[in-house]
Amino acid sequence: MPAPGPDVLVGIGDDVAVLRDGPDQVWLATCDVQVEGAHFLRNAITPVDLGRKSLAINLSDIASAGGSPKFALISLGLPDDLPVEFIDGLYRGLRSEAEHFGTEIVGGNISGSKFGLFIDIFLLGKASRENYLLRSGAQVGDQILVTGTIGDAAAGVALLQTPPSVADAAYAEVARSRLNTPTPRVQEGRLIGESHLATAMIDVSDGLAGDLGHICERSNVGVRLEANKLPVAAANRSLAQIVHGDEWHFALHGGEDYELLFTAPKAHAMELSSRINQATGTPVSIIGEVLPQEESRQLVLPAGQVVPLATFGWDHFKEKA
Amino acid sequence: MPAPGPDVLVGIGDDVAVLRDGPDQVWLATCDVQVEGAHFLRNAITPVDLGRKSLAINLSDIASAGGSPKFALISLGLPDDLPVEFIDGLYRGLRSEAEHFGTEIVGGNISGSKFGLFIDIFLLGKASRENYLLRSGAQVGDQILVTGTIGDAAAGVALLQTPPSVADAAYAEVARSRLNTPTPRVQEGRLIGESHLATAMIDVSDGLAGDLGHICERSNVGVRLEANKLPVAAANRSLAQIVHGDEWHFALHGGEDYELLFTAPKAHAMELSSRINQATGTPVSIIGEVLPQEESRQLVLPAGQVVPLATFGWDHFKEKA
């Protein structure tokens, strides 16, 4: 692989590519796809929600770099049997999500697809050069923070297969909605970038443990996560216990949360957490600490027992670059 | 659809989106995909050629705007049964095409795909603001020019089904190679843009007649094309006659030529043609003239008969934006 050129500040290996844009600004470029059968089932999500989610997962990548989404290109692969109403709904969802997050759809491509539907999106965002954040940069002693709650989307997936009777009905609705209409933390990400208090950031798409593993790899650090500080609904833990025999399974290994996972020096973590919460209403939890790399990745269970944090994620196959 | 914002000079509706980049430069953004079963058959193209072609069709879009390709993101949908050697070959093809045309692969995404392979590419290019060309801009009286030869890729498709015995063996090889390893006219496009002599440009991906139709629609003009000036191989016309009963079929309605189709004032057309040919070695033919819109789209057959130029293209379904 040739070395990146002078205008490429970050190439393959992070959630976004970072491209120089004059002396002070950068472009952030990312793409992510939703493929029928692999990422969604056509009968388990409405076309509008599918449109929204397809853009949301890309907005989340720009947010995770502390940037502002600007321009989207939409590449659609449409099977012959897809009703025109479905396509209309898909576009409505794409447009409403774009408008909500100040993003302009500037082009794209429509192609036939013999077998299944796919929605592939290319998103360009902007950030000032001193604000953007990467997976690398976490320092030993930093605290680990996460927005919102985690594990809900994975519970939503489980509930597609498991009789809903095992779950609290109200929570089942929450889980389904978190799976089908995730909220990208765009404002939160921008504020975290602008604060200059965070050291590394990623969005939780592959599962908290897996994505924290990405920060560890790129920052050359270890981590200690405290299970009882994880922002996980009680109903989520019960369902994970029933389905996987492990109450932390969805929270740690679920994926598709699209929350922001970031690190900040101990002296600033609490301040950053409350600043984001006050500005956006989104809760921010401090869930662990960055360790030297040789201490590896640890999970402290509620009773105090320390176990290795397995970092297998949502989908082994998916390797974001 | 909301009106484009101030930084969007061209949004949906051309081959590329044109985004303001400071006072003098623009970014050109495009995406195009190759889907198994719809655009290629896995047993009819080598993985290296498929990688090259997937990037080439996007390079051609940037070339058609008179720009220089800069950065690519590669989104792959990989079926489970795809051998790792195939993926290696695909990457080799992508990298070699990128290097050859000065383009950097800065990121991307790999996803599972239950049914078929797809290679979706997002390409960013640059141009100076005074150089870039669009489908709009053709003026009544302009001449119509095209690079290279046309119809060969369509003959290559036909030869996948038709016994090669009906075709000249040497030409069959040309046709196959034009189908599987098209040459994007990047240098030619940039020179045409820099010349400030052309008025509109598009690449021939859907078929000459269809793509000329796009220029007509966007420029609000008609055209007269002269069949005997089309740069079409005699062997191509023979094969088209056998397969379609119309010797001009591949040339006019074939598609996948990835040649540049452009317009220029009569006073400059010949000069532009020879300038491009001398600088690049690529032949440039003058094939017709731009008419007022009310004169519609005409084809002059070799015997002098004037017939309507049917503008159905390669793929009705495919609508580039």
Q: Does the distance separating the beta carbons of A315 and B5 come in below 8 Å? A: no
Chain A residues within 8 A of B5 when measuring between CB atoms: 104
Can you say how many angstroms the Cα of residue A285 is from the centroid of all Cα atoms in its chain? 16
CA distances from B70 to B100, B124, B295 (A): 12, 6, 40
CA of B191 to nearest chain A CA: how many angstroms apart? 23
CA distances from B29 to A71, A161, B48, B63, B86 (A): 10, 41, 25, 12, 28
Selecting from A111, A120, A319 the residue whose C-beta is nearest the C-beta of B75 gives A120
Instruction: Supply the pLDDT for residue A311.
Output: 63
Q: Does the distance separating the beta carbons of B317 and A106 come in below 8 Å? A: no
CA distances from B96 to A139, B52, B63, B118 (A): 38, 7, 18, 19
CA of B261 to nearest chain A CA: how many angstroms apart? 20
Counting every residue, how long is chain B? 321
CA of B220 to nearest chain A CA: how many angstroms apart? 21
- Is there a contact between B233 and B285 (Cβ–Cβ < 8 Å)? no
Q: For residue B186, which of B116, B107, B109, B98 has the smallest C-alpha distance?
A: B98
Give yes or no for residue B93 having a pLDDT over 90.
yes
Selecting from A22, A112, A124 the residue whose C-beta is nearest the C-beta of B35 gives A112
Q: Does the distance separating the beta carbons of B2 and A109 come in below 8 Å? A: no
Q: For residue B119, which of B28, B67, B42 has the smallest C-alpha distance?
A: B42
Q: Does the distance separating the beta carbons of B70 and A110 come in below 8 Å? A: no
Give yes or no for residue A176 having a pLDDT over 80.
yes
Q: Does the distance separating the beta carbons of A106 and B29 come in below 8 Å? A: yes
Counting every residue, how long is chain A? 321
Chain A residues within 8 A of B36 when measuring between CB atoms: 114
CA of A273 to nearest chain B CA: how many angstroms apart? 31
Q: Does the distance separating the beta carbons of B111 and A38 come in below 8 Å? A: yes
Written as six digits, the tokens of A208 are 């908290």
Chain A residues within 8 A of B113 when measuring between CB atoms: 35, 37-38, 116, 118
Q: Does the distance separating the beta carbons of B4 and A110 come in below 8 Å? A: no
Q: From CA B21, how far away is CA B177, in angstroms rounded?
A: 37
Chain A residues within 8 A of B115 when measuring between CB atoms: 37, 114-116
Q: Which residue of B has its CA nearest to A92?
A: B1
A&B contacts, CB < 8 Å: 185
Q: From CA A49, how far away is CA A96, in angstroms rounded?
A: 10
Residue-wise pLDDT for A140-155, tens only, equals 999 999 999 999 999 9
Q: Does the distance separating the beta carbons of B30 and A111 come in below 8 Å? A: no
Give yes or no for residue B236 having a pLDDT over 60.
yes
Instruction: Supply the pLDDT for residue B314.
Output: 40
- Three-state DSSP state, B237: helix
Query: At CA A299, angle to CA A294 and CA A303, rounded to 5?
Result: 135
Q: Does the distance separating the beta carbons of B106 and A4 come in below 8 Å? A: yes
* Ranges of each domain in chain B: 8-128, 143-308
Residue-wise pLDDT for A88-137, tens only, equals 999 999 999 999 999 999 999 999 888 789 999 999 999 999 999 999 99
Question: What is the CATH number assigned to the segment(s) B8-128?
Answer: 3.30.1330.10
Selecting from A71, A111, A321 the residue whose C-beta is nearest the C-beta of B38 gives A111
| pLDDT averaged over every residue in chain B | 92
Q: Does the distance separating the beta carbons of A30 and B107 come in below 8 Å? A: yes
Q: Regarding beta strands A68-78 and A104-112, do their DSSP bridges make them parallel or antiparallel, or are they unpaired? A: parallel
Arithmetic mean of pLDDT, A30-40: 93
CA of B113 to nearest chain A CA: how many angstroms apart? 6
Instruction: Supply the pLDDT for residue A161.
Output: 82
Q: Does the distance separating the beta carbons of B29 and A113 come in below 8 Å? A: no
Query: Which contiguous run of DSSP H or E holds residue A241?
Result: helix A234-244
Q: For residue B6, which of A1, A71, A249 has the smallest C-alpha distance?
A: A71
Residue-wise pLDDT for A68-96, tens only, equals 999 999 999 999 999 999 999 999 999 99
Chain A residues within 8 A of B256 when measuring between CB atoms: none
Q: For residue B111, which of A105, A202, A77 has the smallest C-alpha distance?
A: A77
Written as six digits, the tokens of A153 are 């989307």
Give yes or no for residue A312 having a pLDDT over 70.
no
Task: List residues bridging with B224 in a β-sheet.
Answer: B289, B298
Q: Which residue of B has its CA nearest to A15?
A: B107
- Is there a contact between A124 and B29 (Cβ–Cβ < 8 Å)? yes
Give yes or no for residue A315 having a pLDDT over 90.
no
Rounded to two decimals, the pTM is 0.91
| pLDDT averaged over every residue in chain A | 92
Residue-wise pLDDT for B1-33, tens only, equals 556 778 899 888 778 999 998 889 999 999 999
pLDDT band of residue A258 (cuts 50, 70, 90) is very high
- Three-state DSSP state, B77: strand
Selecting from B2, B78, B318 the residue whose C-beta is nearest the C-beta of A110 gives B318
Q: From CA B123, how far away is CA B103, in angstroms rounded?
A: 9
Arithmetic mean of pLDDT, A39-58: 96
pLDDT band of residue B48 (cuts 50, 70, 90) is very high
CA of B169 to nearest chain A CA: how many angstroms apart? 32
Give yes or no for residue A163 having a pLDDT over 80.
no
Arithmetic mean of pLDDT, A222-232: 97
Mutation for testing the A interface, residue in B31, B64, B94, B119 having most A CBs under 10 Å = B31
Selecting from A107, A112, A115 the residue whose C-beta is nearest the C-beta of B17 gives A107
Selecting from A22, A122, A318 the residue whose C-beta is nearest the C-beta of B22 gives A22
- Three-state DSSP state, B14: strand
Chain B residues within 8 A of A16 when measuring between CB atoms: 107
Give yes or no for residue A276 having a pLDDT over 50.
yes
Query: At CA B175, angle to CA B170 and CA B176, rounded to 5?
Result: 100
Q: From CA B125, how far away is CA A60, in angstroms rounded?
A: 25
Q: Does the distance separating the beta carbons of A317 and B29 come in below 8 Å? A: no
Instruction: Supply the pLDDT for residue A113.
Output: 87
Share of chain A above pLDDT 70, in %: 95
pLDDT band of residue A5 (cuts 50, 70, 90) is confident
> End-to-end CA distance of chain B, in Å?
14
Rg (CA), chain B: 19
Residue B274 burial by Cβ neighbours in a 10 Å radius (0-12, 13-18, 19+): exposed
At A271, which amino acid appears? E
**Cα torsion B207, B209, B212, B213: sign:** negative
DSSP designation for B151: S
Written as six digits, the tokens of B207 are 């078929």
Q: Does the distance separating the beta carbons of B99 and A75 come in below 8 Å? A: no
Q: Regarding beta strands B68-78 and B143-147, do their DSSP bridges make them parallel or antiparallel, or are they unpaired? A: unpaired
Q: Which fold does the domain A143-308 belong to in CATH?
A: Phosphoribosyl-aminoimidazole Synthetase; Chain A, domain 2 (3.90.650)
Give yes or no for residue B274 having a pLDDT over 70.
yes
Query: At CA B15, angle to CA B50 and CA B76, rounded to 5?
Result: 35
CA of A303 to nearest chain B CA: how many angstroms apart? 38
Mutation for testing the B interface, residue in A106, A206, A318 having most B CBs under 10 Å = A106
Chain A residues within 8 A of B31 when measuring between CB atoms: 73, 75, 107-109, 120, 122
Give yes or no for residue B320 having a pLDDT over 60.
no
Chain B residues within 8 A of A88 when measuring between CB atoms: none
Query: Which contiguous run of DSSP H or E holds residue B250?
Result: helix B249-253
Q: From CA A104, how far away is CA A272, in angstroms rounded?
A: 30
Q: Does the distance separating the beta carbons of B7 and A112 come in below 8 Å? A: no
Instruction: Supply the pLDDT for residue A68.
Output: 98
